[in-house]
Amino acid sequence: MRFSYSEWRGWTKATGPSLWRTAGLKTSRSAAVLVVDDDAIVAEMYRIALVRGGYDVLVARDGPAALQLAAASAPAIIFLDIRMPHMDGVEVLQRLAADAALSQIPVVMLSNYDDNNLIDRCLNLGAKEYLVKVNLNPNDLATVASRWITPIE
């Protein structure tokens, strides 16, 4: 069975980075986190958790949007889903790694796939961690982020 989301371009009407928002800056650590997930409910859940952890949060709903946001906003870390329409997370990861500027941003994969080959592939492509969503407490995302973000002070 074919399962390549990158071929699904034909389905889209709007492909621009229309689906992102910044969080309210309550306890901001002045670091922006980019959450990439096509599932609005999941993305919102992670956004809430990270905002509570003190981060500014950007959300992208697909790969092209994620690449544009990453280039425009230089987030301190990217949480990247794998199964997405238009361009899957692995391809986004490859493109980030191929770009001199963007390759500096730490990437943590978030997916419900737990295939070892896929995990190895992502780590080999430069992902810092690979977290299986179903086992992840959203409240821990802030800790994960702090592990990889270089302090600004």
Partner 1 sequence: MHNFCGMVAQGSVESSDAVLARLLAAADAGGVRHVARLLDSAAFSVAVFERDTEIRVAYVNRAASAQAAIGGESAIGLPVSEVFPQVNASFIEQLLAAPGDQATPMNRRGMLPGGAAWSIDAIRLGPDRLMVLAEELGEAVSSRQRLESLLASMNAIWRPIDFSSMPSQIVEQAGRLLTDVDVVVCAMTSEEPRDLRVVASNTDGLTSANAMVSEDSLAGRAAMSGEPIEINLPSDMIVLTPETQPEGIHSARAVPFTVAGQIADGRTSLGVMVLVKHGAAPFTDAERRLVDEFARLAALALHRAELLRDARSSARRLQLTLDLAMAFASSLSAREVVQLLLNRTLDAVEADRATLSTLEGDEIVIEATYARAGELRWVGRRYPLDFLDRQPLVKRALETRQPVVGGRLDVDGAAPEFREALSMIANTANLPLMLHGEPGGLLVVSRTGETPFTAGDVSILELMGNAAMLALRNARLFEDLELASAAKTQFLNMAAHELRTPITVIRGYTSMLREGGMSDRAETDNALDVIAQKAAELAKLVDALLQSARVQSHSEGAERTEFDIVECAAEAVARARPFSDLAGGTLTALLPPGPVHALGNPEHTSRILDNLINNAIAYRSGEPHVEVRVDAGPDYVAIDVQDNGRGIPESEHAAVFDEFVRIDGGEDESVPGSGLGLYIGRRLAQSMGGELILVRSAPGEGSVFRLRLDRPGADRPV
Residues in the site for partner 1, rule: CB under 8 A? 1-3, 7-8, 10-15, 19, 38-42, 45-46, 48-49, 52, 83, 85, 112-115, 132-134, 136-139
Nearer to partner 1, 99 or 129 (CB): 129
CB 34 within 8 A of CB 58: yes
Strand ranges across the sheet with 129-132:
56-60, 32-36, 77-81, 107-111, 129-132
Is 97 or 131 the residue whose CB approaches partner 1 more closely?
131
User: Token pair for residue 88?
Assistant: 């899957």
CB of 12 to partner 1, least distance (A): 4
**Which tokens sit at 51?**
């905002």
| Residues β-bridged to residue 81 | 110
Residue 13 vs 124, nearer CB to partner 1: 13
Q: Minimum CB separation from partner 1 for residue 86, in Å? A: 8
What DSSP element (H or E) covers 111? strand 107-111
- Least separation in angstroms between residue 115's CB and partner 1 is 7
The smaller minimum CB distance to partner 1, of residues 91 and 105, is found at 91
Q: Minimal distance in Å, beta carbon 48 to partner 1?
A: 7
Axis-axis angle for helices 89-98, 116-124 (nearest 10): 20
